[in-house]
Copies of this chain bind each other. A is one copy, B any other.
Amino acid sequence: MTTKRKPASRHLTHAKRARAKPAAERIRESARDLFYRRGIRAVGVDEIVSNAGVTKPSLYRAFPSKDELAADYLRHMGEDGLSRFDSTIMANSHDPRGQFRIWLLDLLERATKSDYRGCGTSNAAVEYPDRKHPARKVAANIKTRFRRKLVALARAMGARRPEVLGDALMLLLEGVYMSCQLFGATGPSRAAVETADMLIDAHLKR
């Protein structure tokens, strides 16, 4: 749903009651923060709105339900993640392997901070096993697209069987997401870069 609301004023800067951002946007930011850090089921709508500095009816004017707000949260976070991946990889399209390495190092830097909570998309799939749930649908969509990007990347690297290398990297990355939130910086993710290198080597070797 989400009802992508038009600016509602053709002039720039609506300036909404001397407050920086419209309620819907504040709610989105609040939800993103809380949902990611503490989990979707663990956070109630009351906490979301109070954290956003707005009130409950404002939430339900912008979003039809908490489930749809969760779906919206995943949509935004997922798109951000996918474009970050794209822009990192595309920054030097002649060296896909090097760019992937940069992206992975960047991920590890964020993921080894003590308050890291893994991949919000994967976490949502854990919280909502029902495949018909709106949040789960969005999660599946994001993950499928990311998988395709990894296969495309493997192809750009010159892998003999790009689907296999792409999937291997996906397994590795999901492992990084999970193990970082389980073990932190001293966990199995220490082996991530080296493992990725080995995998890529093995798939490129003649």
Q: Contact residues of A with B, CB < 8 Å?
A: 37-39, 41-42, 117-118, 122-123, 125-127, 129, 139-140, 143-144, 147, 163-168, 170-179, 181-183, 187-192, 194-195, 198-199, 201-202
Q: Are B172 and A139 in contact (CB under 8 A)?
A: no
Point out the residues of chain B lying under 8 angstroms from A178, CB to CB.
Answer: 122, 125, 174-175, 177-178
Question: By DSSP majority rule, is chain A's interface helix, strand, loop, or mixed?
Answer: helix
Instruction: Count the copies.
Output: 2
Q: Are A127 and B39 in contact (CB under 8 A)?
A: yes
Task: Quote the shortest CB–CB distance from A159 to chain B (angstroms).
Answer: 12
Q: Report Cα–Cα, A199/B194, bound state, in Å.
A: 10
Q: Are A126 and B123 in contact (CB under 8 A)?
A: yes
Q: Are B129 and A126 in contact (CB under 8 A)?
A: no
Point out the residues of chain B lying under 8 angstroms from A189, CB to CB.
Answer: 167, 171
Q: Report Cα–Cα, A178/B175, bound state, in Å.
A: 8
Contacts A38-B129, A181-B126 given; does A188 touch B168 at CB 8 Å: yes
Point out the residues of chain B lying under 8 angstroms from A187, CB to CB.
Answer: 147, 167
Q: Report Cα–Cα, A120/B125, bound state, in Å.
A: 13
